[in-house]
Structure 1
């Protein structure tokens, strides 16, 4: 193997190892991001597209919200809204 090939292989390997994995985006679990869903949660109204977008972004936080006593009362309404948005929630 030529020395230039070895250097090239090492550089490519380093780049692949040092970059973050694809799809590993960090999610900020902030229930206030679900404010656009308040009417849908409380009054069973049709969720807006912004609400559905926010629910999709907060799916990784669902179990955390479910275990929070101050939020758990909204979870049953949240399940209905998520279903109306076509979002599957994880089992906790």
Structure 2
């Protein structure tokens, strides 16, 4: 639980600090619904998959962020993408 709270706080800080254009398209806070899948390997919910699809263009940006990269590149994140039918980005 502590990890999820920390990640949610980092996501909120990233969204607030993002420039106007990035804030409109890349809202990392929308991925909080995916935290159980990304951190524990639980099956992603429909809402998680929908939000991943909506944020797919932002994955590389998130992976380059020092506070988010480890989550985005984690094995469970890859499993979540595959389960949702999304391609795993290669950077």
- TM-score, normalised to structure 2, is 0.67
Alignment partner of 1:53 out of 28, 50, 53: 50
- TM-score, normalised to structure 1, is 0.66
The runs of at least 4 aligned residues of structure 1 exceeding 4 Å deviation read none
State the alpha-carbon separation in 2 of the partners of residues 31 and 78 from structure 1.
Answer: 14
Matched length:
66
The equivalent residue for 1:81 is: 80
RMSD over aligned Cα atoms? 1.3
Stretches of structure 2 that go unaligned for 5 or more consecutive residues are: 1-23
More helix by share: 2
Stretches of structure 1 that go unaligned for 5 or more consecutive residues are: 1-26
